Amino acid sequence: MKKIFLGISVILTGILLSACGSVDNLSNDTNSSGSSKAKTQLTGQTNTGYYQGVIKNGRYQTSKSRGVSVQQESNQFNIKGFENGLLNISKKQFSTKKYIFQEGQYLSTKRVEAWLERKSKSNPTGLNPKQSKSTNPNTRTPIYLSQIDEQDFMTQNGKSLSLKGMTIGLAINSVDYYKKTQYGPTYETHISDAQVNKEGKKIAGQVLQRLRQNKKLKNIPIVIALYKQASDDSLVGGNFFAYATNNSGANTITKWTKVKQKNYVFPLQSNKKGPSQNDEDSFDNFKSQVQTFFPNLSGVTAQAQYTDGSLTGMNIDITTQFYSQTEIISFTQYIQSAAQKYLPANAPIDITVQSTEGIQSFLSRKTNEKKFSAHIFNSY
């Protein structure tokens, strides 16, 4: 499923990005509503941890490159982790209280697809290296760039929104999967961290230069963030490792900020080492309390995120077979007290309880909260 590049030969002529101007002029956007001016609304805000989004003429303003990642990535965790992580980086630069989020309006599907392909005669803007003659995993040139995500940040003046910043995420493969013949077996080229870092930064520089050629994007801060993708079989996404904030007008990236973030799956595979024996023990204790609650065993796994060496979030997934609603209620209450007792303090933790019928209940403890709240799904 990975990288089914639509074989469109995209020929970009004239000034690069010249097409962008047309989508920027919010107040001239004419939609099916029949009004000559686009009516802009905001989504509302659940809490200040989230940005408000932009609605035009009653419809959400979707990304100009909507669906490209979903089409090309085979590991769902790399998509969600990439988008969530990018939002967190954006929040450092563009406060959710001041800025409004707009799905990327400057990079179109065509352009993103062209950039994600290899550079070639028919695709001069490809950001991945030209196809090499070699098909040997270790000597061929791999596809580095796998996803591009654009996030626009606006401020509101009266009824109109104006672009005040942009964040671009670039996801770099740690493994490039390829075939030598169309229906042949899949081979893997492993890409070292040093290469991911080097190639990612090289591509980032090109992207910044290209964006600056659009006059709408000349004088805004543009943040570019680099993500290392996890392998296709990973049960957790990859991680951001660097970002650069480029002030208004800056054409070249002069300073990178390191991001020390890593994700783990608990229980850890026996050959892997986690960052905290304490947290692993906590999880193991919780797991053993929970998995034997019913005569039938329950599956208990977790995604854990560490930032600067400390646990900054955990998603626990519990799967079991229930035979009644009262079993779900009792199990959920038991999990709540076990979670309180065994799981690491401080970090935000979500716990979802699933059966083959889907989610049955869910527990959550947010940052700075002491207690888990629980919700049991109901049916009439």
Q: Which of 89, 166, 304, 351 touches a copy of itself (CB under 8 A)?
A: 304
CA distance 37 to 160: 11
Of the two residues 128 and 332, which places its CB atom closer to a copy of itself in the complex? Answer: 332
Of the two residues 104 and 142, which places its CB atom closer to a copy of itself in the complex? Answer: 104
Binding mask 258-287 for a copy of itself (x = CB under 8 A): -----x------------------------
CA distance 100 to 148: 20
Of the two residues 58 and 309, which places its CB atom closer to a copy of itself in the complex? Answer: 58
Count of positions (residues) in the chain: 380
Stretch that binds a copy of itself, among 201-209, 219-227, 269-277, 334-342 (CB under 8 A): 334-342
108 counts as binding a copy of itself under rule CB under 8 A: no
179 counts as binding a copy of itself under rule CB under 8 A: no
197 backbone dihedrals φ, ψ, rounded to 5°: -65, -50
362 counts as binding a copy of itself under rule CB under 8 A: yes
357 counts as binding a copy of itself under rule CB under 8 A: yes
Per the structure block, which two tokens stand in for 121? Answer: 């005669």
- Beta-sheet pairing, 160-172 with 145-157: antiparallel
306 pairs with which residues across the strands? Answer: 262, 311
Q: Which residues are CB-contacts of 240 (< 8 A; sequence separation ≥ 6)?
A: 85, 86, 89, 169, 225, 226, 227, 228, 259, 261
Of the two residues 172 and 304, which places its CB atom closer to a copy of itself in the complex? Answer: 304
Stretch that binds a copy of itself, among 138-146, 179-187, 188-196, 302-310 (CB under 8 A): 302-310
Of the two residues 12 and 376, which places its CB atom closer to a copy of itself in the complex? Answer: 376
- Beta-sheet pairing, 257-258 with 261-266: unpaired
CA distance 81 to 252: 27
237 counts as binding a copy of itself under rule CB under 8 A: yes
Least distance (Å) between residue 106 CB and a copy of itself: 15
Contacts 24+ apart (CB under 8 A), 289-293: 289/338, 289/342, 290/318, 290/334, 290/335, 290/338, 293/331, 293/334
132 counts as binding a copy of itself under rule CB under 8 A: no
Of the two residues 14 and 44, which places its CB atom closer to a copy of itself in the complex? Answer: 44
378 counts as binding a copy of itself under rule CB under 8 A: yes
- Beta-sheet pairing, 145-157 with 100-103: antiparallel
With b for 16 or more beta-carbon neighbours within 10 A and e for fewer, the 48-65 pattern comes to eeebbbbbbbeeebebbb
Provide the 10 A C-beta neighbour count for residue 101: 21
Q: Which of 257, 292, 346, 367 touches a copy of itself (CB under 8 A)?
A: 292
User: What is the identity of the amino acid at 284?
Assistant: D
Of the two residues 135 and 330, which places its CB atom closer to a copy of itself in the complex? Answer: 330
350 counts as binding a copy of itself under rule CB under 8 A: yes
323 counts as binding a copy of itself under rule CB under 8 A: yes
Tell me which residues in 23-82 interact with a copy of itself (CB under 8 A): 43-46, 50-53, 55, 58-60, 62-63, 66-67, 69-70, 76-77, 79-81
Q: What is the DSSP letter of 102?
A: E
Least distance (Å) between residue 198 CB and a copy of itself: 25
Least distance (Å) between residue 280 CB and a copy of itself: 16
Least distance (Å) between residue 173 CB and a copy of itself: 18
Least distance (Å) between residue 105 CB and a copy of itself: 13
Least distance (Å) between residue 337 CB and a copy of itself: 4
Q: How far is CA 19 from CA 44, 96, 211, 298, in A?
A: 31, 29, 12, 54
Provide the 10 A C-beta neighbour count for residue 281: 12
User: What's the chain's Rg over C-alpha atoms?
Assistant: 23
Q: What is the DSSP letter of 334?
A: H
Interface ranges with a copy of itself (CB under 8 A):
43-46, 50-53, 55, 58-60, 62-63, 66-67, 69-70, 76-77, 79-81, 83-84, 87, 101, 103, 149, 151, 236-237, 263, 292-295, 303-305, 313, 315, 323-327, 329-334, 336-337, 350, 352, 357-359, 362, 364, 374-380
